[in-house]
Amino acid sequence: MTMPTRRIGPYTVSAIGLGCMNLSHAYGTPPSEADAAALLNRALDLGVTFLDTAALYGGGSNEALIGRTVMHRRAEFTLASKCVLDLVDGKRVLDGSPAAIARTLDAALVRLGTEHIDLYYMHRLDPDVPIEESVGALVRAKEAGKIGAIGLSEMSADTLRRAQAVHPIAAMQTEYSPMVRNAEIAVLDACRAQGTAFVAFSPLARGMLAGGVTDDAYAAGDIRAMMPRFTGANLAHNLGMFARFQALAEAAGRTPGQLALGWVLARGDHIVAIPGTRSIRHLEENVAAATMPVDDALFAAIDAIYAPGAIAGVRYAPAMQAQIDTELLPEEQAG
């Protein structure tokens, strides 16, 4: 099918891409390689032209998966990956030094089986390394032909402006959905003003807005078990809100996931959404959402459900939040 497109730096990509993390990382036991390969290739068949991975995901195994399963179709998609966050000797490491960025990039190129990554993000801001130094390392990688464009992830509007002073930033990737609105504080508008694409990860709120969360009996290794919004009384409250959202979607003739994706894309023509899934059926539903408009009445109804302060629980536990540079909502600061 022909999907609507958006711009990321020099690239034209499908308005809905594919976040590949959960094929190798973060949500319990990953699918088999055969199932993952089938999903990745089906995404390309459906017109998805933007695949997003990272060195962190599965300790490089997600990049290697893409290298083995779809790089024979390299001309059909824009490839994005990330550095700064990595697994070193089995431990999660945050290192934005130029040397670490160069090492992570070179290893990624080997795993992916390519000499060039189209869009390369800093996965997080390293507070011990000036953003200018980290971006400088990526500029050198671009000059060497190893990457095509530079991106940032989970960073603030101020950090974006500092990075932009060194080199144009093609994309900012941050969580954004009807349920998670931090980007609306400053960075969404900053991206629009500076010509930077905004890449919305977890546009389905880690499965919540697709009906994929019903309780907190998560499988071993599922990161939602450590997220305050997805456990205990907070989850019970948030599921009650989702029930209202689901009813709204059904009345509008679409799945709740499709309503969430339509909402995200309608927030600006500089936004690209990258939902992740392990289900081909859900993949097909997600792709269909690209052509399902959200009108003003639906916008108002969604905002009435997910009004400021309505969600129970903060986005990340303190240890994870310490690595996040994005702006905080008032209720998160109070927490």
CATH of the domain at 106: 3.20.20.100
Interacting residues of 176 by C-beta distance below 8 A, sequence separation 6+: 182, 183, 188, 198, 200, 201, 202, 203, 264, 267, 271
24 in a domain, yes or no? yes
pLDDT of residue 1: 62
**Which of 11, 57, 176, 316 is labelled catalytic?**
57
226 in a domain, yes or no? no
pLDDT of residue 331: 84
Which residue segment(s) compose the domain that 187 sits in? 5-213+256-296
208 in a domain, yes or no? yes
333 in a domain, yes or no? no
CA distance between the termini of the chain: 45
Residue spans of the chain under pLDDT 70: 1, 334-335
Specify whether 57 is catalytic: yes
Phi and psi torsions of 332, nearest 5°? -75, -35
Among 181, 154, 203, which residue's Cα sits nearest to residue 329?
181
The structure tokens 């209202």 sit at 244
Phi and psi torsions of 79, nearest 5°? -105, 130
pLDDT of residue 90: 87
93 in a domain, yes or no? yes
Three-state SS for 152? strand
Among 51, 143, 69, 75, which residue's Cα sits nearest to residue 105?
143
219 in a domain, yes or no? no
pLDDT of residue 335: 47
- 97 in Cβ contact with 71 (< 8 Å): no
The DSSP line for 68-129 is HHTGGGGGG-EEEEEESEEEETTEEEE--SHHHHHHHHHHHHHHHT-S-EEEEEE-S--TTS
Determine the Cα–Cα distance for residues 10 and 81; give it in Å rounded to an integer: 16
DSSP class of residue 61?
H
Determine the Cα–Cα distance for residues 51 and 20; give it in Å rounded to an integer: 7
44 in a domain, yes or no? yes
The greatest distance separating any two alpha carbons of the chain, rounded to the nearest whole angstrom, comes to: 53
DSSP class of residue 32?
P
Domain count, the chain: 1
Q: What's the gap between Cα 176 and its chain centre?
A: 8
288 in a domain, yes or no? yes
Instruction: Please state whether 225 falls in left (phi above 0), alpha (psi between -120 and 50) or beta.
Output: alpha
pLDDT of residue 2: 82
Tokens representing 45? 């068949």
257: part of which helix (H) or strand (E)? helix 256-266
Determine the Cα–Cα distance for residues 117 and 122; give it in Å rounded to an integer: 13
Q: Give 4-56 pLDDT, tens digit per residue.
A: 999 999 999 999 999 999 999 999 999 999 999 999 999 999 999 999 999 99
DSSP class of residue 34?
H
